[in-house]
Structure 1
Amino acid sequence: MWTMPEPMLAAPVSDPGLPPVWAAEAKWDGWRALLSMAAGRMVPRSRQGTDLLPAFPEVSSGAAQLPDATALDGVM
């Protein structure tokens, strides 16, 4: 059974350079969220595990395009 990975927390670095194939975006405002797609069900949750779907129902339509066993970590 596939399980959602633990969230990565941000850490300050002295060099803003990123390894090849990595991307970054500043978090100006918003909710840090983990989104998982498993067995056709999309679950957005906070770092503490709170289900964010009631607060962001519009995310489910875009996430329907994701394949199973997908995990995204970002800001909503």
Structure 2
Amino acid sequence: MIWSLPEPMLTVAADSPALPAGWAAEPKWDGYRAQLALHSDGRVLLRSRQRTDMTSAFPEIREAALAQLPADTGLDGVM
């Protein structure tokens, strides 16, 4: 089986701060935009939006994912 993450969601400029119904937004003040995937066999992948593997740079996030997330979880956000 091929294990992959979806394409990262990228930011887009907006003409107005008003959001369409059903949308949410948050400012990115500092940190990294990253995707995390926890595979059912215990593999964890943390990558940047440019697809750089950052897993080894953040062992505490890897350990927290293993301890707290269910298998086959994918997250996209700012850390």
Q: TM-score range by the shorter chain?
A: 0.7 to 0.9
The structure with the greater share of residues assigned to helix is: 2
- Gapped runs of 5+ residues in structure 1? none
What stretches of structure 2 of length at least 5 have no aligned partner?
Answer: none
Kindly state the Cα deviation for residue 13 of structure 1 after the two structures are TM-superposed.
Answer: 2.0
Distance 1:47 1:56, change over 3 A: same
Letter of the structure 2 residue corresponding to residue 67 of structure 1? P
Residue 61 in 1 paired to residue 63 in 2? yes
Q: Is the aligned partner of 1:47 residue 2:49?
A: yes
Q: Tell me the percent identity.
A: 55
- CA distance in 2 between partners of 1:56 and 1:19 (Å): 35
Query: How far did 1:59 drift?
Result: 0.4
Partner Cα separation in structure 1 for residue 21 and residue 71 of structure 2 = 27
Give the letter for the 1:69 counterpart.
D
Aligned-residue CA RMSD (Å): 1.9
